[in-house]
Amino acid sequence: MAATDIARQVGEGCRTVPLAGHVGFDSLPDQLVNKSVSQGFCFNILCVGETGLGKSTLMDTLFNTKFEGEPATHTQPGVQLRSSTYDLQESNVGLKLTIVSTVGFGDQINKEDSYKPIVEFIDAQFEAYLQEELKIRRILHTYHDSRIHACLYFIAPTGHSLKSLDLVTMKKLDSKVNIIPIIAKSDAVSKSELTKFKIKITSELVSNGVQIYQFPTDDESVAEINGTMNAHLPFAVIGSTEELKIGNKMMKARQYPWGTVQVENEAHCDFVKLREMLIRVNMEDLREQTHSRHYELYRRCKLEEMGFKDTDPDSKPFSLQETYEAKRNEFLGELQKKEEEMRQMFVQRVKEKEAELKEAEKELHEKFDRLKKLHQDEKKKLEDKKKSLDDEVNAFKQRKTAAELLQSQGPQAGGSQTLKRDKEKKNLGFL
């Protein structure tokens, strides 16, 4: 029996019962909120700026917490990134806050490559998240997301224009992170100079094509305040952890010989605006922009480098399985080709080594033959010399024997002659 016939019979035989009360699926947002609150949130801030611009002090002031950290010196040989993670609690909401600071930024004589460690650090966090996504068994719900959600770029309060280092660094970072430019220690510049400085910074960013983070205006609930705050960028801020009694209240402020600068007074600086925009209003949008814009751009470029595409050359949908199989076959082909090349190279090297060994063996044989012949010649010479010496010894022995014989015969001949002479003398005497 067809499924439509069964459905028709069931429909005809069923009694319609009206709803007696509230269904309750409108509580789904509450369920999501409860689940998110129980899991907690994470937020990562990158502070980029020269040493001494008050990056650590501003972080302490923003979150009203004294974060542990060692003061940086101006003697760093290169730019280093120092990361620290803290667990914060506000009401029943937990926040895992990671603050990354650039140590030694702008302190070197040659600042040409100062931005590279920062770019490499951001890409490393994207790569770690991508590798976790590509795993067969993913644990993203417990994975500590270390991707940078906001980059506070600290600008020195020169009052003139941006440095080349600032422009180059922000241009390299604008496609990888949400950049919020801020003028650090803005109390060092007068109010009129600060207004001109902001206009100068904005025009230089636009003329150089630097894309800074714009607070979203598509949500009606925050469109008005975000639109107003976009016009105040870059924020001129002051940080201070020192509390002074002003009137009847204790307030964060900086005491100078000429007066007191209140950190949370909007007439003195834009600290409150930065805190509202960064933490209270747009923190989730910064997290979303990091994932949907910057990370997706990195992910797409990385997968395209690996050979994965959404469409084939004919603009037809390309399945991931087919792409994987094609890349796998291509990889196996390249691997086999490299293996064949290595085998041929190995055979060639073996042949060359054999030829070298044969040549060395030939040289050794020739050397052995030369030494053998030389040995034989030396042996023949020694034998000839020995024979001549033996002949001389034999001749000497013969001469010695003859001499000894002559010496033995000499006394006998002399005695007979004496007797003969005596006999002759006697005979003459008788005469």
pLDDT tens-digit series, residues 38-90: 888 999 999 999 988 989 999 999 998 888 777 777 777 889 999 999 999 98
Question: What pLDDT does 277 receive?
Answer: 93
Those residues whose C-beta lies under 8 Å from the C-beta of residue 158, and which sit 6 or more positions away, are 197
Mean pLDDT of 342-369: 92
pLDDT tens-digit series, residues 119-166: 999 999 999 999 998 888 888 888 889 999 999 999 999 888 899 999
Query: What confidence category does residue 109 fall into, taking pLDDT thresholds of 50, 70 and 90?
Result: confident
Q: CA dihedral defined by 158, 164, 168, 170, rounded to 10 degrees?
A: 10
Tell the burial category of 358 from Cβ atoms under 10 Å away from its Cβ (0-12, 13-18, 19+). exposed
The answer to whether domain 35-306 has CATH 3.40.50.300 is yes
Residue 113 has pLDDT above 70, yes or no: yes
Question: What pLDDT does 410 receive?
Answer: 67
Instruction: Give the bridge partners for 182, in sequence order.
Output: 154, 235
Instruction: Give the bridge partners for 252, in sequence order.
Output: 243
Q: 97 versus 78: which is more confidently predicted?
A: 97
Question: What pLDDT does 431 receive?
Answer: 46
CA–CA distances in Å: residue 304 to residues 120, 121, 297, 314, 387:
19, 21, 11, 17, 93
Question: What pLDDT does 241 receive?
Answer: 85
Contact between residue 278 and residue 226 where contact means Cβ atoms under 8 Å apart:
no
Q: Rounded CA gap, 103 and 53, in Å?
A: 12
- In the block, which residue shows the tokens 């207004």? 195
Domain residue ranges in the chain: 35-306
Mean pLDDT of 203-220: 92
Question: What pLDDT does 416 receive?
Answer: 62
Mean pLDDT of 227-242: 90
In percent, the amount of the chain with pLDDT more than 90 equals 48
Query: What confidence category does residue 331 fall into, taking pLDDT thresholds of 50, 70 and 90?
Result: confident
Q: 52 versus 311: which is more confidently predicted?
A: 52
